[in-house]
Each structure stands twice: as structure tokens, then as C-alpha cells.
Chains A and B, each alone.
Chain A
Amino acid sequence: MVPLTLFLKVHIRPSGIVALRSLPQSKMRTALRYVPPTTLIGAIAYPLFHVVGNRAETAYERKTFRSKAESIIELFEWVTVKTQGKPKLYGSLLKINTVYRGKAQSAVTSFPFAVLYGEGDYSMTAVYLISEETLSKSTYNLRDVERAAWGMTRLGSRESVVSVEEVTSGKTKVRDANEATTAYAFPFKGFDVSGRGTLQSIVDWRSGIGDYSKAKRVVMFYPERTVTVRGELSVAEVNGEVIVLAP
């Protein structure tokens, strides 16, 4: 008997832009086009802490410091996202003139971001697979996590305000497959993919999200609409849609 896994499916509407900095970065800032799982975990962490009255953001241990969002990564077996509409990267050049301590300074910079704004319907659907065992041992219950999903306020920067339009929950079975059709992002490793999409190198959330300085990276494939994936797959079905997990 294969155990069932809890899932949350969260439909998100952006308020036009999603500003996510690609790390590490130099003076020439770059933005991520698609939302990585680390951001999705951070986005649900803030309202989840709020629900239980926890305001802490940073945990200090001697000389190291980490994001408190790391304390909830064990809750999730998998996190992924589907993006409707292809975001466009854009950033105005900004000329900054300042007078600081009597010295005039000038610089040119840019803060690029992903634009999800246009005639079409730009939206995102995040899927969280939740470990029932970890959840039962934690201070949270499923109702808390569900309420937290409704309370996601931003993806990354404080300008990337979003609203959660729908949350559905249920149970699914993670199974093996040789082929799957998916619209959700998946790790691009050893698979044969038919269809269009974008490869994006991101921090592997399973190695921790509190400190990115030495974090492992993983290449994710973000499909445009749907793609067919072939290989030794691990898949799950959430409300009629298939997601592909890491091999």
C-alpha cells in the first residue's frame, strides 16, 4: 500500500511585476524570469509564522545567521510552480545623483524584474506536497498551512505583491512513470523533453534556504504551456494535473 501525500494547490495573481534577484550578483544585477521553490517556501513561511504568532525572521547561531523560513522546509516533500504567460525581463536604467557628505556622486544602475502584465491572463499556480508525518510532529496543522497559503503576500521583494485567488487541498499518490505531460517546473536531469520552455539555474531548496552563499544549485525546466517528459520519472497528480518530481 503506497502512502498518500497531502498537497496544496495555490492559484496566485501577480500585481504586475515579480522582482527576484538572481544570486550571487555583481553591480550588473540580473533577475529571475520564473519563481524558484525557495521563494515559494519563503512566501508561505511568513503567513504561517504569523498564524502561530511567531514574528522571527532571522536565526543567529554564534557567528552564523539563517532565514527562519528554513525551519519549515522539512514540511515539504516537493514544491513547484506553473506559470501562465511568459514573463518578460525588464529594468529601466536609473541615473542616481546623490550628495553625500559634501561630495556629488553619480551612478547608473538598473533593477530588473519579471513583468507579468499584459492582455493575457498572467497567473501562477504553486503546488506544495506536504509530509503528513512531519506536519503531525510540528506545531502546525493542515488548517494553519491552508490559512497561510491564503495569506501569501509577496514573492520575493516587497514590491512583488501577489494575491492568492484559490487554495485547494487533497491527497495524492507519488508513483513511477516513463512519460508525463506537465505544465509545472521540474528538475532538468536525465529527461527527454518535447516542448518549449526555459531552463533556469536556481538554489536547490532541499539543501537549505537559510544561507545561499554555499548553496547547491539545480537546473529547473519551466514549461511554456505543457511539455512531454520521458525518462525514469517520479510523478504525482494534483486535481487532474501532473507534476514531475526530482528523480
Chain B
Amino acid sequence: MFLSVGVRVEANVEALNMVETAGNYGKHRRVPYLIEEDGKLKTVYVPALSGESLAHAYQEHLVKEALGLDLPVCDDCKRNEFYKSMNKVHLKKKVDPIPDDPKKIEEAIVRACVVEDVGGFLYAEKPPVRRSSAFQVSYALPVKSVALFATSEPQLHARHAQMDASSKKGNASEQMIYYVETGTALYGFTFNLDLDAIGVSAITSEPILDKSEIKGRREASLKALFRMLSSGQFGAKLSRFFPVGGITELVVAVTEHPFVVTSPIYDDYIERTERRLKVLESLGEDYLLVVADSGKVPEEALKEAMDYLGEKGAF
């Protein structure tokens, strides 16, 4: 089974994804939005969140959910340091001595850690072993129709330190001003989860784990997504810049094989997703489509999708 979620989230005055510091100025991640003016292309930079940022948050939630279900998580991932068995140093913590056979390496990693099973890894030694992530996240970008209303605005802050003559060093100031660039936008992003990839070898295509553990891991993966979206716990600087807003719309599609909802950055994404799923139905494939807009809250839509997957025996 394959799950695809399109999310629209309103985030005012947020600092969810920062890049580059220039002195005391912390910049928000931005992407160019191209507009045509007088026959010429013009670039406007709008705030954005990278897929990596959202993926990191999802994996943090996955750690918690997996541990809550008594599933294995390696020490690196428990600390939310997602090195993912990238070299011998990290792999040795899971299997020592390291086998020569890539199948055995993959098996050891998958057995030892839910996060590397679901989130993939790249062991960059000899022999190299790779496993693609079972989940995919797009960038979160301002919805196209209102992208020009998105802003990146620096907010001035001041740090204070009380200093007397004995503690003053050089010409250090008692006040230090700094800026945090905050973004305000209605963001849209897509999240996909391939449940059939969990617990199955990316080399032999055979299950590495028994059915019950695979189902447990699928449940953890779904709960992690539910928790991440419901709690709004993704991105940086949540302690002082928790975004004002929340999920405004959400669409969930569950299909037998891969299918991606139309990106929520387009205004017609719900209608187009529905029409595209009808085509899959004509090809003989079952599907579920749930929309959370004015009549349903996101949690209800996500629960409906989880119930459907439960009925289908996915977990």
C-alpha cells in the first residue's frame, strides 16, 4: 500500500528553516518565484522549508513512535543524529565484525533500526550498500496563487548581559542586537510513504523481518506522520518562533501502488487528485481519498486513512 498526503499549512512569523548567517543576521531559506512583468522574467524570493528539514522532523517522530511500540532504534538515531550507518565507525555499533556480503550488511542495519529501515541509508564503504527512503517529502513552498503575499521579514532582537568592570572584556557591549528573518506564508507540501518497502530487502526483494514486526513498523511510520502533522512539531526555532496558524487543508490518498497527490501549491489540487484517482479505479485499483477542508479536521482525515489501512491488513 502507498500513502500520499498533500498538506496546506498557514505559518505566520515562523523561523522553521534557516540558512546562512551573515554576522548577526540569520536568513530564512528562500526559493526564487518567477513572474513575468512587461514581457520580462523577474525573480521574487519567497520563504521555503526544505524537504530535508521536514524529513528530519518526521524521523524524530518515528524514533519516539518506534520506541513506544518497543521496536528497535539504534543509538545514533535515538539521539536524533541520523548518520544512518554511513561508514564503518557507525555500522560497527550494529554489527561487528562487519560482513563482506551486502545482503548481510543490509539485514543487520534493517533489523537494528526502524529509522534506517524506513528512512533509508547509504553505507559508503566497500561494498557500498544503499537503501532508498520509503518516505519522500517535497519542499514546502508558498501556494502559487498567494506566493507574492509571502514575506521574509527580519525581526530585531537584543541580548543583554550585565557587566561590571571586572567581567568586562575588551569592548564587549552589554547589549547585542541580532536579527532573525521570519517567514509568513501559506505553504503547501507533499509527503509520500511506501508501506510495502518497510522491512523488505532492497537487494533481494525478500522480507527481512517477520510479518508482525513489519506491521508494527508500518504502524509506527503512520503514527509518526500523524503526530508530526497534528502537533506542528517540525522545523527549527519552535521554542520562540512557533508558527502562528496551522493546517488549513489536507488531502490523503491511499492506493495499492505508488500514486502522488497533486501538489497543494496548485489551487486545483483536490479536484485534480480526485479525477486522477478515478482513472486508477478504471484500471481496477482500489483507493481511498479523504479531504480535510472546512468540514473535517486533519486528524479525522488521517485517522480515516489509518483505519482504511488497518482494514486492508497493512498493520
Point out the residue from B32, B127, B196, B283 that lies within 8 Å of A147, measured CB to CB. B283
In the bound assembly, the distance between CA atoms of A60 and B100 in angstroms comes to 12
Residues A47 and B258 in contact, CB atoms below 8 Å apart:
yes
Q: Which residues of A contact B41 (CB under 8 A)?
A: 86
Contacts A/B (CB < 8 Å), 26 sampled: A13-B263, A13-B266, A16-B141, A50-B2, A55-B196, A56-B202, A56-B203, A56-B204, A56-B205, A90-B32, A92-B19, A92-B30, A117-B31, A117-B32, A117-B265, A147-B257, A147-B285, A148-B257, A150-B276, A150-B280, A158-B51, A158-B132, A159-B136, A160-B138, A165-B276, A167-B279
Residues B266 and A115 in contact, CB atoms below 8 Å apart:
no
Interface set of A (CB-CB < 8 Å, partner B): 13-17, 46-47, 50-51, 53-60, 63, 65, 85-86, 88, 90, 92-95, 115, 117-120, 143, 146-148, 150-154, 158-165, 167
8 A-B pairs with least C-beta separation: A118-B34, A159-B51, A151-B258, A161-B138, A15-B138, A15-B263, A16-B141, A92-B19
Residues B257 and A60 in contact, CB atoms below 8 Å apart:
no
* Total interface residues in chain B, CB < 8 Å: 64
Residues A58 and B276 in contact, CB atoms below 8 Å apart:
no
**Does B190 lie at the interface of the complex (its beta carbon under 8 Å from any beta carbon of A)?**
yes
Q: Which residues of B contact A65 (CB under 8 A)?
A: 102, 127-128
Indicate with 1 or 0, residue by residue over B125-146, a CB within 8 angstroms of chain A CB atoms: 0011111110111110100100
| B170 CB, nearest partner CB in chain A, Å | 22
Residues A16 and B136 in contact, CB atoms below 8 Å apart:
no
Q: Which residue of A lies closest to B192 (CB)?
A: A153
**Does B222 lie at the interface of the complex (its beta carbon under 8 Å from any beta carbon of A)?**
no
**Does B259 lie at the interface of the complex (its beta carbon under 8 Å from any beta carbon of A)?**
yes
Residues B32 and A115 in contact, CB atoms below 8 Å apart:
yes
Residues A117 and B141 in contact, CB atoms below 8 Å apart:
yes
| B145 CB, nearest partner CB in chain A, Å | 10
Residues A159 and B50 in contact, CB atoms below 8 Å apart:
yes
Residues A54 and B205 in contact, CB atoms below 8 Å apart:
yes
In the bound assembly, the distance between CA atoms of A90 and B48 in angstroms comes to 13
In the bound assembly, the distance between CA atoms of A94 and B139 in angstroms comes to 16
Q: Which residue of A lies closest to B20 (CB)?
A: A93
Q: List residues of B (239-293) whose CB comes within 8 Å of A's CBs.
A: 257-263, 265-266, 272-273, 276, 279-280, 283, 285
Known: A13-B262, A92-B20, A92-B29. Contact between A118 and B138, CB under 8 A?
A: no
Q: Which residues of A contact B102 (CB under 8 A)?
A: 58, 60, 65
Indicate with 1 or 0, residue by residue over B278-314, a CB within 8 angstroms of chain A CB atoms: 0110010100000000000000000000000000000
